[in-house]
Amino acid sequence: PRVNFISYDGREHPVDVPEGTTLMRAATDNGVPGIDGDCGGQCACATCHVYIEPPWDTLTGTRTGSENEMLNFSACLRDDSSRLGCQIPITAALDGIVVKLPEGQH
């Protein structure tokens, strides 16, 4: 499936990844700037903070409890669209998803 990452400055970074790849890996494996993933996807660092806006938010499900807590430790501004990229695996249903990125994670 295709993931359309959008940098804070509006630049588009489309990548194609295998199903099951998390948004965090999709970005880090393809050199997309603005997302780190320091903990390797353990929901323990909050450096994979991304923003998922409608209509995609309904397809990516809801935050887990630990994801919700970890987002409070993120260096980036948190809002209703905030998610941790390592907690969202890409499925066929998410083909074409738009994922907005913060300027940086620190």
Instruction: Give me the residues that bind ligand FES (CB under 6 A), please.
Output: 24, 37-39, 41-48, 70, 84, 86
Nearer to ligand FES, 86 or 90 (CB): 86
Q: Which residue is nearest to ligand FES (CB)?
A: 86
State in angstroms the smallest separation of the CB of 35 from ligand FES. 9
Separation between Cα atoms, residue 60 and residue 3, nearest integer Å:
13
- What's the min distance (Å) between Cβ of 30 and ligand FES? 15
Q: Which of 58, 60, 85 is nearest to 74 (CA)?
A: 85
CA dist., res. 106 & res. 98, Å (int): 22
- Minimum separation from the CB atom of position 49 to ligand FES (A): 8
Which helix (H) or strand (E) segment holds residue 48: the answer is: none
The nearer residue to ligand FES, 24 or 94, going by C-beta atoms, is 24
By beta-carbon proximity to ligand FES, the closer residue of 55 and 63 is: 63
| Spatial distance between the Cα atoms of 69 and 53, rounded to a whole number of angstroms | 20
Give the separation between CA 49 and CA 27, rounded to whole angstroms.
11
